[in-house]
Amino acid sequence: MTHDPNCLFCKIVAGLIPCKKVHEDEDILAFHDIHPWAPVHFLIIPKIHIASLAQVGPEHATLLGRIMTLAPRLALQEGCNPYPQGGFRLLSNTGAEGGQEVHHLHFHVMGGPRPWHRG
């Protein structure tokens, strides 16, 4: 299944729910988190529905590599300060005990001057 009609982030990918877009290409979407923890807080997601990192396999290596290489570029673009004084946090909550609430794979990118609202 590449899309789950009941999935919030699949609905965002499909344009059924609006988002504040940071980046979009054929395979990847990045948009601002609706409840930011930090001055900069956006999510990077694959457009295909993958429930979490627990469902990732070797066939996703290129996609995940692209997300990882995109993260630092988008972090700077969205206002994170440069490494090493600045930087950002990259986080993927996985499963209930990992704190995952939306079950469509996503990577949080958080940054900006401290203190943050959370984290």
> Known catalytic residues?
106
Token pair for 55: 């469902």
- Three-class SS state of 40: strand
Tell me which of Zn ion, ligand AMP, none is bound by residue 17, counting a contact when its beta carbon lies within the kind-specific cut-off of 5 to 8 angstroms: ligand AMP
Instruction: For ligand AMP, give the closer residue by CB, 76 or 102.
Output: 102
d(CA 111, CA 77): 12
Q: What are phi and psi of 74, to 5 degrees?
A: -70, -35
What distance lies between CA 1 and its chain's CA centroid?
Answer: 20
Tell me which of Zn ion, ligand AMP, none is bound by residue 19, counting a contact when its beta carbon lies within the kind-specific cut-off of 5 to 8 angstroms: ligand AMP
- Applying CB under 6 A, which of residues 51, 53, 63, 102 lies at the interface with ligand AMP? 102
- For residue 13, state whether it binds ligand AMP (rule: CB under 6 A): no
- Contacts with ligand AMP by CB under 6 A: the residue count is 11
- Choices 21-29, 31-39, 71-79, 80-88; region in contact with ligand AMP by CB under 6 A: 31-39
Q: What are phi and psi of 9, to 5 degrees?
A: -75, -30
- What's the length of the chain? 119
Q: What are phi and psi of 96, to 5 degrees?
A: -60, -45
Tell me which of ligand AMP, Zn ion, none is bound by residue 66, counting a contact when its beta carbon lies within the kind-specific cut-off of 5 to 8 angstroms: none
Interface with ligand AMP (CB under 6 A): 8, 17, 19, 33-35, 93, 99-102
